[in-house]
């Protein structure tokens, strides 16, 4: 097995020998170790890994891309030759950053969990399970994942940048039963190091959600103020808003720069340099230093995320064709978000809202069309809030509307800042937000 | 194959009760097209091995792209270490349903192997498709995602089972947007399956693009759907989405064995009307969700999940089959060598009934006719599901009374089954996909259905 630096060098050398004038190679190695336990203990463990190299080779007005799993010289060189062989006319041409981009960003170190040993998993899983059962719910599953990811970007202009990132994810499932009816709840959290991980909280959170669903009452169809908890906001915004904030991601850009989208207290920015952020990284995937970008400031759209410090997402074909490309190395860089932070500075507090529907998690939100922002989803968990307190859980309810209307209808924010997402990101870091008027289908 | 056999033998020597190794070597093309040209087009090759062992009643799995003897041994050592992570104390409960050993070979038929078609020819075909689509009246946007894969897969286990096969897949998804006088509408259609480049060459891709363009154009100016409970007619694609989410996931043996499915413990019980027969058939030639063997080497076969409304069989891996006292039926699937197999659907469908769709429309006094599919989600333990339609029609007195958009359906599985009033006679199949598991595995999954009439269902719409 080759070093990532050697792998990218082999791919570049082969592309240039084949005729390319410039090239960029991106090598990636990922390993996710997952431990899954049920009520009777550990059931199984998996180490899912991917490594390979992707390369873009360019000449005047043309370029091509190829990739290969594995990091041995022969496969990397084959990818390099393949990229030049797959060249086509390019408009606009690819722009690779020069050596001036390869300046280190101070103060952002990725914590390491490489010392993690499988034997530690038992204790951490037991802690999460304890959180579920001690709270009075039944355990359905607990899971611990440790993800390590290194990548190396190397181009013919002098960029040769490596990054190591690690994540620890803990998930727990709980069930509370009432006669034949089972009320299940799942909670997942992510940390950047084992030292920070708190599995007990995850178990307690899952149990609390499941137990709080007991004894639901129906609510009639109508329009309600809705408090979206952080998980519901992530379910809605990550597929329904964020793609529309990435340059070139949707065909018809629905938001115009300078357009007012929310109240003056609503701010949204992407901060890859956020201390302790779940998706913080020093460089993007073309080797340019990461930097913070304001997306919505004082309610006004500032413009989309563009390449040049924000290439955080190599596009993968599986999202639309369901055939999985190898890993992050399989296709080219596109703009991507990291730590998307909602700052509700000076927002009226949630305590000001007398009566509202509170939702936590949404089913079906991932199909929200970002071009229109139209959504029609089912709440995973919902409660009625009266006089500022949760009064009772509610039966299945659907919420429908447009993301644009949710933003413009925001009237209050909570103080329960939380980050929601999956490694390696993006994550939405937000408090609960209340929208004044949402169409709700009840039963 | 010999190296894989040596690996599984070595695992047995190291104390594993069972070991299996899966090798894949696939050549792939991905094309991502927007407007008049490709955003990305890449060719690649994926090669690797996944090793799974059963030790002391617990599973361990590891994958590698390092195919040297040392690389394979390291992957095996990882898998054994992970299985042993539970310690030597109380053993785990994982075990496998016994099966006969066998050796098999299979080549998935194809007219044009995608590996024989140069990337330039593929791009040329999509260039023509994009030009034709964008030249259409009111069409403002064209997007296409295309992927093909072909190569070989080998499965070897410590019980002496050996399977070699040559898979092929060409899959695409076209999205067309139409715009006029400040309004826009889009529609999505898929094409392809476990077939070769003929999926594009023989006109299936252009038919999908024409269909998406026509739908987008027709739904310009469509109104918002109302919210509430209505009689609902599902077209083929909406109904197959419903069957996949509401029945398919609830019938997966892993959810059933954990008691996390509303169909758990209901074998032999009537849960739907006699007109509802649901089958998952991975042997359906050409379907995107077709495979000759699952990723445990078990020959895939059709499973009747609901037989005239009665729960007849669940979908199984060898492990869930043992837990539930059933036969493994070839439904353990993994995205690739990198992942362990879990219980999945192949190609699920609702068997046709007696009624032509036109008669179903005529029979509706007032209600909503859902068309096309945009995905869905289910919580099989709570029994709640939801799916989104591509577009919809308002039906009044048996006739189309308006076009609607932004519509989805939500329900409780056991309630909605009893709401199936009639099943159409027009069974049709389409491509699709499905995500499940941790680590998440997204796979191509086929589905089919005739039209389905529901006496009442909860519709989420945006109209006040």
Res B164: pLDDT: 97
**CA-based nearest residue in chain A for residue B148:** A323
Q: What is the torsional sign of CA A268, A273, A275, A280?
A: positive
ipTM over 0.85: yes
Pairing relation of β-strands B139-157 and B162-166? Answer: antiparallel
CB pairs under 8 A between A and B: 311
The set of residues, in sequence order, having a beta carbon less than 8 Å from that of A32 and lying 6+ positions away, is: A46, A47, A48, A49, A145, A146, A147, A148, B439
Over residues A86-114, the mean pLDDT reads: 70
- Chain A interface disruption, residue of B44, B261, B436, most A CBs within 10 A: B44
Q: Which of B265, B30, B273, B7 is nearest to B155 (CA)?
A: B7
Are B439 and A46 in contact, with CB atoms under 8 Å apart? yes
Binned at pLDDT 50, 70 and 90, residue A111 comes out as: very low
Chain A residues in contact with B336 by the CB 8 A cut-off are 324
pLDDT in tens, A306-315: 988 888 877 6
Which of A 254-313 lie inside 8 A of B, CB atoms?
none
**Do B85 and A377 count as a contact with CB atoms less than 8 A apart?**
no
Chain B residues in contact with A334 by the CB 8 A cut-off are 39
Integer Cα distance of B256 and B254 in angstroms: 5
By the 10 Å C-beta count (0-12 exposed, 13-18 middle, 19+ buried), B164 is classed as middle
Please report, for residues A208, A248, A350, A395, the alpha-carbon distance to residue A388 in angstroms, rounded to integers and kept in the order given. 19, 42, 8, 20
| Cβ-nearest to A324 among B146, B387, B442 | B442
Residue with tokens 């390993």: A31
Chain A residues in contact with B84 by the CB 8 A cut-off are 118
pLDDT in tens, B120-161: 999 999 999 999 999 999 999 999 999 999 999 999 999 999
pLDDT in tens, B288-305: 999 999 999 999 999 999
Are B350 and B452 in contact, with CB atoms under 8 Å apart? yes
Which of A 190-249 lie inside 8 A of B, CB atoms?
221, 223, 248
Residue with tokens 């190291």: B14
pTM: 0.93
Integer Cα distance of B320 and B318 in angstroms: 6
pLDDT in tens, A417-439: 999 998 888 999 999 999 999 99
pLDDT in tens, A145-155: 988 888 899 99
Helices (H), B337-456: 357-362, 413-418
Please report, for residues B108, B126, B199, the alpha-carbon distance to residue B203 in angstroms, rounded to integers and kept in the order given. 21, 12, 7
| Cβ-nearest to B32 among A145, A315, A402 | A315
Q: For residue A210, report the phi and psi dihedrals to the nearest 5 degrees.
A: -65, -45
Q: For residue A345, report the phi and psi dihedrals to the nearest 5 degrees.
A: -75, 120
**Do B43 and A315 count as a contact with CB atoms less than 8 A apart?**
no
Angstroms from B35 CA to nearest CA on chain A: 8
A395 near B CB under 8 A: no
What DSSP state is assigned to residue B245? Answer: I
Q: Which two tokens stand for residue B284?
A: 């359906």
Integer Cα distance of B54 and B334 in angstroms: 17
Chain B residues in contact with A400 by the CB 8 A cut-off are 225, 227, 406, 408, 460-462
Which of A 55-74 lie inside 8 A of B, CB atoms?
64-72
A3 near B CB under 8 A: no
Bridge partners for B294 per DSSP = none
Res A287: pLDDT: 87
pLDDT in tens, A33-84: 999 999 888 888 999 888 999 999 999 999 999 999 999 999 999 999 999 9
Binned at pLDDT 50, 70 and 90, residue A325 comes out as: low
Res A319: pLDDT: 54
Integer Cα distance of A287 and A293 in angstroms: 17
Q: Look at residue A108 and tell me whether its pLDDT is greater than 80.
A: no
**Do A398 and B410 count as a contact with CB atoms less than 8 A apart?**
yes
Q: Give the strands of the sheet with A293-297, arranged side by side.
A: A300-301, A293-297, A266-270, A339-344, A427-430, A418-421
Are B408 and B462 in contact, with CB atoms under 8 Å apart? no
**CA-based nearest residue in chain B for residue A1:** B66
Give chain A's mean pLDDT: 90
Angstroms from A283 CA to nearest CA on chain B: 22
Chain A residues in contact with B228 by the CB 8 A cut-off are 221, 441
> Buried b vs exposed e over A345-359: b needs ≥16 C-beta within 10 Å?
eebeebeebeebbbb
Angstroms from A174 CA to nearest CA on chain B: 11
Beta strands in B36-138 (DSSP E): 37-55, 58-64, 103-107
Binned at pLDDT 50, 70 and 90, residue A112 comes out as: very low
Beta strands in B181-287 (DSSP E): 183-193, 223-224, 228-234, 278-280
| Cβ-nearest to B229 among A91, A377, A443 | A443
Q: Which two tokens stand for residue B319?
A: 């492990």
**Do A372 and B184 count as a contact with CB atoms less than 8 A apart?**
yes
The set of residues, in sequence order, having a beta carbon less than 8 Å from that of B316 and lying 6+ positions away, is: B97, B253, B324, B326, B327, B328, B329, B331, B332, B343
Res A306: pLDDT: 92
| Cβ-nearest to B43 among A35, A48, A86 | A86
The set of residues, in sequence order, having a beta carbon less than 8 Å from that of A371 and lying 6+ positions away, is: A244, A250, A251, A252, A254, B177, B184, B186
Integer Cα distance of A167 and A417 in angstroms: 20
**CA-based nearest residue in chain A for residue B412:** A396
DSSP string computed for B325-340: T----S-EE-SSTTS-
> Buried b vs exposed e over B133-148: b needs ≥16 C-beta within 10 Å?
beebebbbbbbbbbbb
Q: Look at residue A156 and tell me whether its pLDDT is greater than 90.
A: yes
Q: What angle (nearest 5°) sits at the alpha carbon of residue A309, between those of residues A305 and A310?
A: 40
Give the Cβ contact number of residue A416 at 10 Å: 11
Q: Which two tokens stand for residue A179?
A: 């006669």
| Cβ-nearest to A70 among B66, B120, B123 | B66
**Do A67 and B60 count as a contact with CB atoms less than 8 A apart?**
no
- Chain B interface disruption, residue of A36, A37, A44, most B CBs within 10 A: A44
pLDDT in tens, A263-320: 999 999 999 999 889 998 888 889 888 899 999 999 999 999 998 888 887 765 555 6
Q: For residue A40, report the phi and psi dihedrals to the nearest 5 degrees.
A: -100, 15
Chain A residues in contact with B406 by the CB 8 A cut-off are 372, 374, 376, 400
Say what percent of chain A tops pLDDT 70: 94
Angstroms from A387 CA to nearest CA on chain B: 26
Q: Which of A85-94, A265-274, A324-333 has the lowest mean pLDDT?
A: A324-333
Chain B residues in contact with A377 by the CB 8 A cut-off are 386, 408, 460
Chain A residues in contact with B186 by the CB 8 A cut-off are 369, 371-372
SS (H, E, C) A297-335: ECCEECCCECCCCCCCEECCCHHHHCCCCCCCCCCCEEC
Q: Which of B133, B132, B150 is nearest to B198 (CA)?
A: B150
Integer Cα distance of B29 and B44 in angstroms: 6
> Buried b vs exposed e over B398-434: b needs ≥16 C-beta within 10 Å?
eeeeebbbbbbbbbbbbebbbbbbbbbebbbbbbbbb
Q: Which residues of chain B have pLDDT under 70?
A: 86-89, 438-439, 464
Integer Cα distance of A310 and A279 in angstroms: 12
**Do A317 and B47 count as a contact with CB atoms less than 8 A apart?**
no
By the 10 Å C-beta count (0-12 exposed, 13-18 middle, 19+ buried), B251 is classed as buried
**Do A378 and B386 count as a contact with CB atoms less than 8 A apart?**
yes
Angstroms from A132 CA to nearest CA on chain B: 16
**CA-based nearest residue in chain B for residue A51:** B65
A357 near B CB under 8 A: no
- Chain B interface disruption, residue of A43, A46, A371, most B CBs within 10 A: A46
Longest dimension (CA), chain A: 72
Integer Cα distance of B434 and B371 in angstroms: 19
| Cβ-nearest to B227 among A34, A372, A441 | A441
- Chain B interface disruption, residue of A121, A223, A323, most B CBs within 10 A: A323
Angstroms from A78 CA to nearest CA on chain B: 9
Are B446 and B194 in contact, with CB atoms under 8 Å apart? no
């Amino acid at each position: 097995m080759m070093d990532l630096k050697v792998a990218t060098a082999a791919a570049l050398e082969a592309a240039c020998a084949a005729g390319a004038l410039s090239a960029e190679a991106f090598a990636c190695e990922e390993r996710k170790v997952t431990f899954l336990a049920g009520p009777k203990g550990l059931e199984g463990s998996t180490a899912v890994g991917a490594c390979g190299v992707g390369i873009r080779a360019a000449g005047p007005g043309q370029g091509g891309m190829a990739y290969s799993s594995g990091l041995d010289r022969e496969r990397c060189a084959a990818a390099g030759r393949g990229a030049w062989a797959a060249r086509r006319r390019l408009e606009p041409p690819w722009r690779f950053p020069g050596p001036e981009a390869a300046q280190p960003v101070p103060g952002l170190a990725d914590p390491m969990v490489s010392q993690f040993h499988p034997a530690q998993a038992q204790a951490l899983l037991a802690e999460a399970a304890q959180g579920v059962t001690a709270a009075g719910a039944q355990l359905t599953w607990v899971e611990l994942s440790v993800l390590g990811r290194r990548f190396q970007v190397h181009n013919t202009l002098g960029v040769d940048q490596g990054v190591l990132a690690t994540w620890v994810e803990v998930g727990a499932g709980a069930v509370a039963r009432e006669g034949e009816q089972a009320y299940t709840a799942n909670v997942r959290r992510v940390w950047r190091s084992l030292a920070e991980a708190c599995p007990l909280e995850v178990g307690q959170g899952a149990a609390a959600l499941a137990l709080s669903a007991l004894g639901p009452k129906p609510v009639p169809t109508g329009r309600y103020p809705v408090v979206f908890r952080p998980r519901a906001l992530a379910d809605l915004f990550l597929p329904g808003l964020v793609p529309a904030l990435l340059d070139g991601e949707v065909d018809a850009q629905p938001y115009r720069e300078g357009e007012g989208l929310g109240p003056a207290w609503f701010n949204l920015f992407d901060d890859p340099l956020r201390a302790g952020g779940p998706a913080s990284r020093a460089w993007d995937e073309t080797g340019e230093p990461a930097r913070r970008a304001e997306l919505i400031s004082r309610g006004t759209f500032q413009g989309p995320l563009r390449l040049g410090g924000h290439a955080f997402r190599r596009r993968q074909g599986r999202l639309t064709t369901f055939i999985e490309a190898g890993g992050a190395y399989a296709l080219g860089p596109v703009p991507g978000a990291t730590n998307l932070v909602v700052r509700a500075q000076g927002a009226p507090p949630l305590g000001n809202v007398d009566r509202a529907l509170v939702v936590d998690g949404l089913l079906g939100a991932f199909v929200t069309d970002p071009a229109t922002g139209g959504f029609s989803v089912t709440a995973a968990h919902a409660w009625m809030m009266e006089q500022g307190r949760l009064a009772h859980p509610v039966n299945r309810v659907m919420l429908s509307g447009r993301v644009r209307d949710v933003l413009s209808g925001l009237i209050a924010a909570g103080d329960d800042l939380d980050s929601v997402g999956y490694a390696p990101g993006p994550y939405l870091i937000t408090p609960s937000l209340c929208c004044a008027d949402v169409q709700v289908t009840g039963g | 194959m010999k190296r894989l056999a040596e690996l599984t033998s070595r695992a047995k020597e190291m104390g594993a009760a069972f070991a299996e190794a899966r090798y894949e070597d696939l050549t792939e093309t991905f094309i991502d097209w927007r407007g008049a040209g490709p955003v990305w087009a890449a060719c690649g090759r994926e090669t690797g091995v996944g090793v799974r062992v059963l030790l002391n009643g617990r599973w361990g799995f590891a994958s590698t792209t390092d195919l040297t003897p040392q690389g394979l041994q390291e992957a095996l050592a990882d898998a054994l270490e992970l299985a042993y992570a539970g310690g030597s104390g109380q053993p785990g409960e994982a075990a496998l349903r016994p099966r006969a050993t066998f050796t098999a070979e299979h080549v998935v038929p194809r007219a044009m192997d995608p590996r024989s078609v140069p990337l330039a020819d593929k791009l040329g075909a999509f260039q023509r498709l994009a030009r034709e689509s964008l030249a259409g009246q009111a069409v403002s946007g064209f997007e296409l995602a295309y992927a093909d894969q072909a190569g070989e897969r080998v499965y070897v286990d410590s019980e002496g089972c050996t399977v070699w096969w040559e898979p092929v897949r060409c899959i695409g998804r076209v999205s067309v947007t139409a715009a006029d006088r400040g309004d826009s509408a889009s529609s999505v259609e898929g094409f392809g399956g476990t077939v070769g480049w003929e999926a594009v060459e023989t006109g299936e891709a252009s038919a999908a693009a024409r269909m998406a363009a026509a739908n987008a154009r027709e739904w310009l100016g469509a109104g918002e759907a109302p919210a509430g409970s209505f009689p609902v007619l599902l077209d083929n694609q909406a109904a197959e989405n419903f069957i996949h989410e509401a029945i398919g996931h609830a019938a997966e043996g892993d959810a059933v064995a954990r008691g996390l499915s509303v169909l758990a413990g209901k074998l032999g019980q009537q849960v739907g009307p006699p007109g509802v027969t649901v089958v998952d058939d991975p042997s359906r030639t050409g379907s995107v969700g077709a495979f000759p063997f699952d990723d445990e080497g078990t020959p895939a076969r059709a499973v009747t999940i609901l037989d005239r409304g009665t729960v007849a069989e669940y979908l199984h891996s060898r492990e869930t089959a043992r837990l539930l006292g059933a036969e493994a039926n070839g439904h353990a699937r993994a995205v690739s060598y990198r992942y362990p197999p879990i219980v999945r659907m192949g190609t699920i469908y609702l068997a046709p009934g007696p009624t032509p769709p036109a008669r179903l429309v005529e029979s509706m006094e007032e209600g909503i006719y859902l068309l096309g599919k945009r995905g869905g989600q289910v919580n099989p333990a709570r029994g709640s599901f939801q799916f989104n339609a591509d577009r919809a029609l308002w039906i009044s007195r048996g006739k189309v009374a308006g076009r609607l958009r932004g519509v989805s359906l939500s329900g409780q599985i056991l309630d909605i089954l009893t709401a199936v009033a009639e099943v159409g006679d027009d069974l049709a199949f389409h491509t699709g996909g499905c995500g499940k598991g941790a680590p998440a595995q997204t796979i191509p999954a086929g589905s089919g259905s005739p039209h389905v009439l529901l006496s009442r269902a909860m519709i989420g719409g945006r109209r006040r």
